[in-house]
Amino acid sequence: MRNLLLLFFSVGFFFSANAQSDYELVEQTLNYYMEGGSNRDFNTLKKAFHETATMKYITDVGYKEVNALEFFSKMKTGDRVNRKNRIAEITISGHAANARLELEYPDFTFVDFMNLLKIDGEWKIVNKIFYKRVD
C-alpha cells in the first residue's frame, strides 16, 4: 500500500511539474503571434489565432473589421521586421484572457489588445484591436 501511495504521489508530482500553467500557455500563443509577424512567417502566426478571429481597427476612413487570418495571409514575406515585441500585461480568468502587447518600430508603436479563449485545451486569440501610437 505504501508503494502504491508513493507511486501516485510521484506520478502526480511529475505531471504537475511538467504541465504548463495557463499563463505560460497564453504567453506561448502571444509569442506565436509576435514571432510570426516579426519573421513574416504566416504558418507560425496562424498558430495564435482561432479560425474565426476578428481584427477591428480605425483607419483614416473609419472603422474596419476583418477576419484576422485572412488579413495576415496577405503578409509579404521577406526579411525580419525591425521591431521590438513586448508583452505588457496578461490577465486570465478561467477560460478567458486578455493581453496588451507593444510592438515597437523605429518611428511608431502598435499597441495590440488581444482577447483569448481556451478552446479545447488550447489558448487562441479570438479578437484583436489595436492602436498605432506615433512616438
pTM of structure = 0.84
In this structure, what C-alpha cell is assigned to residue 42? 504566416
Q: What is the pLDDT of residue 116?
A: 98
pLDDT tens per residue across span 83-111: 999 999 999 999 999 999 999 999 999 99
Q: What is the pLDDT of residue 135?
A: 77
pLDDT at residue 50 above 50? yes
Q: Decide if 126 contacts 111 (C-beta within 8 A).
A: no
Q: Which CATH architecture has domain 21-134?
A: Roll (3.10)
- The sheet that has 84-93: what strands, in order across it? 62-67, 49-59, 122-134, 108-119, 96-104, 84-93
Q: What is the mean pLDDT of the chain?
A: 90
